[in-house]
């Protein structure tokens, strides 16, 4: 049977249908309905954050947060991420300035941020990539010293805690994605977590065309609201999220046990003081593995197993940005992007399949 890199978790069909039933009565299908409000409330509690603003998807949450802050100029960010992070910056008329990543967890290398700050810098947009926690303390301190906003792309980091705090409570705002492929999902969806009430107010308007009330439109917004069918999916999935993460932990730990100690194969290491969510299992195929990553991709594919070069290429190397950025300035990011693979990861991935995947990977190695 085909094994994909992700497989969406879903509640029982009946559970979802039952939760949808009241909508046939109320006919309130979108525009901040009862389920939308209930989901926002429950998410604040689960994520351990002050407030969340729900969105049609994570990307619009990030894009509108940058808009709501009225930022101008340069934004320091990472090229080792999904297209969304960089596009959200550029689509706001801002200029991304790419900071290199560190080689253990692939998050922004905080020691390299200050060299990139200019009089035009207005914000830092780091990514908790694969659910690994950025150096939030250094980043927040640098931001404070230089009067910069910090907006975390926490798309991968649902439920992650650092020093027992919700990861979304760091910085000025954090965006979580609830896309179907993420640890927690609402089919499509996302949220922005912040304790800034003025920002919450701006986001509320911007995601509804900038409409404040029936006769006042004081923001150039768009439509980025979460509908009730998605909110209900979220409420159902949230009931089972701890179970889901626990199942992911088993898969993750099996991978780590199977793949540790193989020459030339880097696996993600645990971080101190972090409660993980086991969102992804990336491996880095170093040169001394003896075979490049394409060989692993091909052999797994012959076995109906599909992995991803996630993230490759770096966003700074995208065709749409050709000639604008120089990825040789982020050598660690480039090194990782050229060697990384993310392996199949989902709550219901069978342990025997994990072993089989790892056997295949091991058999590829050491053959020059
Ligand atoms: C998934 C993802 C997003 C975008 O989220 P959507 O909900 O799909 O819009 C942004 N950043 C990263 C790193 C992601 O993986």
Q: What is the CA(154)–ligand 1 centre distance, in A?
A: 9
Last residue of a domain, one of 239, 263, 295: 239
Asked if residue 8 is part of any domain, the answer here is no
* Count of Cβ atoms closer than 10 Å to residue 147 Cβ: 8
The protein residue with its alpha carbon nearest to ligand 1, atom 5, reads 58
Ligand 1, pocket-test mutation among 66, 177, 280, most atoms within 8 A of CB:
177
Asked if residue 232 is part of any domain, the answer here is yes
Q: What is the CA(88)–ligand 1 centre distance, in A?
A: 11
Asked if residue 192 is part of any domain, the answer here is yes
**Relative to the CA of 60, which ligand 1 atom is closest?**
9
Structure tokens at 264: 């030339």
Same domain, 349 and 266: yes
Last residue of a domain, one of 183, 212, 239: 239
Same domain, 104 and 152: yes
217 DSSP β-pair partners: 211
> CB–CB of 330/314 below 8 Å?
yes
Ligand 1, pocket-test mutation among 5, 52, 65, 82, most atoms within 8 A of CB:
82
> CB–CB of 211/221 below 8 Å?
yes
Same domain, 168 and 273: no
Asked if residue 139 is part of any domain, the answer here is yes
Asked if residue 1 is part of any domain, the answer here is no
Pairing state between β 161-162 and 274-275: antiparallel
Q: What is the CA(87)–ligand 1 centre distance, in A?
A: 11
* 82 pLDDT above the threshold of 60: yes
Q: What's the rounded Cα separation, in Å, for the pair 345 and 347?
A: 7
> CB–CB of 224/192 below 8 Å?
no
Q: What is the CA(84)–ligand 1 centre distance, in A?
A: 6
Q: What's the rounded Cα separation, in Å, for the pair 175 and 191?
A: 6
The protein residue with its alpha carbon nearest to ligand 1, atom 7, reads 58
Q: Per residue in 165-206, pLDDT tens? A: 999 999 999 999 999 999 999 999 999 999 999 999 999 999
Q: Give me the torsion for CA of 64, 70, 76, 77, rounded to 10°.
A: 0
Q: What is the CA(184)–ligand 1 centre distance, in A?
A: 12
**Relative to the CA of 153, which ligand 1 atom is closest?**
11
Q: Per residue in 333-345, pLDDT tens? A: 999 999 999 999 9
Q: Is the pTM for the entire model greater than 0.95?
A: yes
Residues with C-beta less than 6 Å from any ligand 1 atom: 57-59, 81-82, 84-85, 127, 153, 155-156, 177, 179, 190
Asked if residue 4 is part of any domain, the answer here is no
**Relative to the CA of 178, which ligand 1 atom is closest?**
7
Last residue of a domain, one of 193, 224, 239: 239
**What is the residue range of 353's domain?**
241-364
Q: What is the CA(343)–ligand 1 centre distance, in A?
A: 18
Same domain, 165 and 124: yes
**Relative to the CA of 81, which ligand 1 atom is closest?**
13
**Relative to the CA of 188, which ligand 1 atom is closest?**
7
- pLDDT at position 365: 86
* 95 pLDDT above the threshold of 70: yes
Q: What is the CA(179)–ligand 1 centre distance, in A?
A: 7
Asked if residue 5 is part of any domain, the answer here is no
Q: What is the CA(228)–ligand 1 centre distance, in A?
A: 21
- pLDDT at position 297: 97
305 DSSP β-pair partners: 3
**Relative to the CA of 61, which ligand 1 atom is closest?**
9
Q: What's the rounded Cα separation, in Å, for the pair 320 and 262?
A: 37
Same domain, 99 and 231: yes
Same domain, 62 and 121: yes
Q: What is the CA(59)–ligand 1 centre distance, in A?
A: 6
Same domain, 193 and 61: yes
Same domain, 61 and 189: yes
Same domain, 101 and 212: yes
CATH of the domain at 66: 3.40.640.10
Please name the residues in contact with 351: beta carbons below 8 A apart, sequence gap of 6 or more: 250, 251, 254
The domain total for the chain is 2
Same domain, 60 and 99: yes
- pLDDT at position 368: 42
Q: What's the rounded Cα separation, in Å, for the pair 183 and 159?
A: 9
* 332 pLDDT above the threshold of 50: yes
Give 108's pLDDT tier (boundaries 50, 70, 90).
Answer: very high
CATH of the domain at 331: 3.90.1150.10
Instruction: Please give the average per-residue pLDDT across 298-320, as a whole number.
Output: 97
Cα distances (angstroms) measured from residue 328 to each of 79, 81, 115, 249, 302: 11, 16, 16, 35, 34
Give 367's pLDDT tier (boundaries 50, 70, 90).
Answer: low
Same domain, 251 and 332: yes
């Amino acid at each position: 049977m085909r094994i994909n890199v992700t497989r969406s978790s879903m509640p029982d069909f009946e559970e979802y249908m039952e939760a949808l039933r009241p909508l046939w009565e109320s006919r309130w299908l979108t525009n901040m309905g009862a389920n939308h409000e209930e989901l926002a409330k429950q998410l604040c509690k689960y994520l351990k954050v002050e407030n969340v603003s729900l969105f049609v998807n994570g990307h619009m949450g990030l894009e509108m947060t940058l808009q709501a802050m009225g930022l101008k100029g340069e934004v320091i960010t990472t090229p080792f991420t999904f297209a969304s992070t960089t596009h959200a910056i550029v689509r706001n008329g801002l200029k991304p300035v790419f900071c290199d990543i560190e080689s253990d967890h692939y998050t922004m290398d905080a020691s390299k941020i200050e060299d990139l700050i200019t009089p035009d810098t207005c914000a830092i947009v780091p990514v908790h990539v694969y659910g690994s926690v950025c150096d939030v303390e250094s980043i927040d301190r640098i931001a404070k010293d230089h009067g910069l906003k910090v907006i975390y792309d926490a798309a991968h980091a649902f439920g992650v805690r650092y020093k027992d705090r919700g990861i979304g409570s760091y910085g000025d705002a954090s965006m979580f994605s609830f896309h179907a492929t993420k640890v927690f999902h609402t089919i499509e969806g996302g949220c922005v977590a912040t304790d800034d009430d003025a920002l919450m107010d701006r986001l509320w308007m911007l995601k509804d065309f900038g409409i404040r009330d029936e006769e006042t439109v004081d923001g150039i917004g768009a439509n980025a609201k979460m509908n009730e069918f998605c909110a209900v999916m979220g409420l159902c999935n949230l009931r089972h999220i701890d179970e889901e993460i626990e199942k992911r932990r088993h898969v993750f730990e099996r991978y780590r046990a199977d793949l540790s100690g193989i020459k030339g194969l880097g696996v993600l290491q645990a971080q101190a003081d972090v409660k993980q969510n086991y969102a992804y299992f990336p491996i880095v195929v170093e040169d001394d593995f003896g075979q490049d990553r394409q060989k692993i991709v091909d052999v797994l594919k012959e076995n109906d197993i599909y992995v991803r070069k996630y993230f490759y290429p770096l966003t700074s190397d995208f065709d749409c940005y050709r000639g604008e950025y120089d990825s040789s300035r982020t050598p660690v990011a480039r090194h990782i992007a050229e060697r990384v693979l993310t392996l199949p990861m989902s709550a219901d991935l069978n342990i025997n399949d994990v072993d089989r995947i790892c056997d295949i990977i091991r058999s590829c190695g050491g053959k020059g």
